[in-house]
């Protein structure tokens, strides 16, 4: 199978996918030409997007800020929740320092953040 070579071909494939989506559903036979074309184009587009538009893993700082927003926490409330000083929270959020293993575990549990993000793995 070939691959999408440029942005113009990518956009054309995306337009064709949009045309094909209404023509297939869960009951469409596997040998239907529209379904086969949709599957092929989708795979080509996915490969192109993976190469040209990679999605990076979220940083710990971004994830903490998002969770603070979702939970309605400011830095003072987060420091109370984690039992550390507001200045230490500031250090974490600005990237001046990283949490200790104990604090990382508390961040993971109390903010419900996946341990792999907290540990950067």
pTM of the predicted model, to two decimals?
A: 0.59
3 state SS for the chain: CCCCCCHHHHHHHHHHHHHHHHHCCCCCCCCCHHHHHHHHHHHHHHHHHHHHCCCCCCCHHHHHHHHHHHHCCCHHHHHHHHCCCHHHHHHHHHCCCCCCHHHHHHHHHHCCCCHHHHHCC
Domain segments of the chain as ranges: 7-52, 60-119
**pLDDT reported for residue 55:** 87
Span 88-101, mean pLDDT?
A: 91
Asked if the 60-119 domain carries CATH number 1.10.260.40, the reply is: yes
pLDDT tens for 51-90 read: 999 988 788 899 999 999 999 999 999 999 999 999 999 9
């Amino acid at each position: 199978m070939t691959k999408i070579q440029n942005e113009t071909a990518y956009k054309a494939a995306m337009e064709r996918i949009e045309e094909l989506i209404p023509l297939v559903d869960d009951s469409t036979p596997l040998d239907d030409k529209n379904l086969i074309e949709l599957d092929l184009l989708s795979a080509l587009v996915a490969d192109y997007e993976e190469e040209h538009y990679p999605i990076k893993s979220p940083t710990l700082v971004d994830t903490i800020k998002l969770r603070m927003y979702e939970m309605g926490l400011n830095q003072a409330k987060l420091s109370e929740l984690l039992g550390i000083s507001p200045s230490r929270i500031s250090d974490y959020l600005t990237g001046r320092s990283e949490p200790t293993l104990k604090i990382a575990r508390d961040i993971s549990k109390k903010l419900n953040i996946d341990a792999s993000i907290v540990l950067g793995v």
